[in-house]
Amino acid sequence: MKRFVIMIIAVVAVAILWMAGWFYVAGIVRDEIGALALADGVSQPRLTCERLNVGGAPFSFSPHCAEARITSGDISVSVPEISGTALFYRPFHIQVFTTGPAYVTDAFTGASQKLDWSNLHASLRIEDGTIGRFSVLADDLVYSDTLMGDEQLATAAHGEIHLIDSTPGDAAPGTGQVYDFYSSFEDLDSARLDLSNATLSVDGRLTGVPDPALWGDPDLIAFWQAYGGQLALRGLDLEAGELAFNATGEASLDSSGLLNANADITSRGVTGRIARIIGDPAVAQIVLGGPDAEGVSRQQLTVNEGQMVVGIMPIMTVPPLF
């Protein structure tokens, strides 16, 4: 009997300590999220919530932000609700759920867009103080322009975005992180672009990525260049019936912020479609090349110290990016 009483007391004591620890950590989570509202929205994004609470006791932490607004520079994003979940014993793996629609506004240009969905789920895994993996999956996406009314620009049945840390274990200090990225969209429709039942995928790698603490810094691009950053596009593929588009290439910056890049573009059925949209077939053929006997167009785009050349024809100058 005495042993049983001791066991009960021990269990109650552990439960009290566990809940005390949970409330302590939940308070820290709430304070950290609340501190984001004090950011300047320029060097660090600002997040404000009309209502903020943290639930999930006793085995997880589930912050809930109602009427969330995120501001970064001139860009503001408003969503009705953001909620997250992290298990007590696995705090660096965070699941995020968001209720749409999201309204995106640009104070500089005056642009206003809306993105809606039926289900959006994101997953973030932190490893050694940086992003190990970040994924977003969404269904029934609807993208609209809301500047004057509500004009539907594009829809997709399903979309995915993935960012994966691929930094080698023996990477030299001061060279930044290496991230592979991949995104895909299925059943993509756009009346403006004359697309129906299209599939779009993007596969690439970004090297020289600075520490996440610098991502809000106005000199982020300069830091990226200093780390020897390169963007490799392994494939941008669009298919819709008889229409097809593929692009591969690489891009980097020199110490003056001037762009150096190259891209190989192959397409079928795109030249004529662009010509109908912009009303000038000559421009479409310059950019994508004329179709061969099989209707396939090929073109090479090169940028050397900011001077863009399509084929052998200089077409524009890209200003320094920092």
Q: For the chain, give the number of residues.
A: 322
Nearest to 136 by CA among 153, 161, 115: 161
pLDDT category of residue 116 using cuts at 50, 70 and 90 = very high
pLDDT > 70 fraction of the chain, expressed in percent and rounded: 98
pLDDT of residue 269: 87
* Highest-confidence segment of 18-22, 145-149, 310-314: 145-149
Residue type, 2: K
Q: Is the pLDDT of residue 56 over 70?
A: yes
For 221-262, the pLDDT digits (tens) are: 999 999 999 999 999 999 998 899 999 999 999 999 999 999
**CA neighbours within 13 Å on the CB side: how many for 17?**
6
For residues 167 and 142, is the Cβ–Cβ distance under 8 A?
no
For residues 297 and 267, is the Cβ–Cβ distance under 8 A?
yes
For residues 95 and 104, is the Cβ–Cβ distance under 8 A?
no
Q: Is the pLDDT of residue 131 over 80?
A: yes
Mean predicted lDDT score pLDDT of the chain: 90
pLDDT of residue 163: 97
**Mean pLDDT (whole number) for 180-192:** 95
pLDDT of residue 103: 96
pLDDT of residue 305: 95
- What is the residue extent of each domain of the chain? 242-322
pLDDT category of residue 174 using cuts at 50, 70 and 90 = confident
Lowest mean pLDDT among 41-55, 190-204, 243-257, 274-288: 274-288
Q: Token digits for 291?
A: 């179709």
Q: pTM for the complete prediction?
A: 0.87
Q: Whole-angstrom Cα distance, residue 98 to residue 115?
A: 12
Find tokens 């090297």 and name the residue: 207
Q: Is the pLDDT of residue 53 over 80?
A: yes
Q: Write b or e for each residue in 212-233: b if 16 or more Cβ atoms lie within 10 A of its Cβ, otherwise e.
A: eeeebeeeebbbbbebebbbeb
pLDDT of residue 14: 78
- The 3 state secondary structure assigned to 213-280 is HHCCCCCHHHHHHHCCCCEEEEEEEEEECCEEEEEEEEEEECCCCCEEEEEEEEEECHHHHHHHHHCC
**Mean pLDDT (whole number) for 10-33:** 80
Which burial class, exposed, middle or buried, applies to 27 when counting CB atoms under 10 A from its CB (0-12, 13-18, 19+)? exposed
Q: Is the pLDDT of residue 28 over 80?
A: yes
Which burial class, exposed, middle or buried, applies to 313 when counting CB atoms under 10 A from its CB (0-12, 13-18, 19+)? exposed
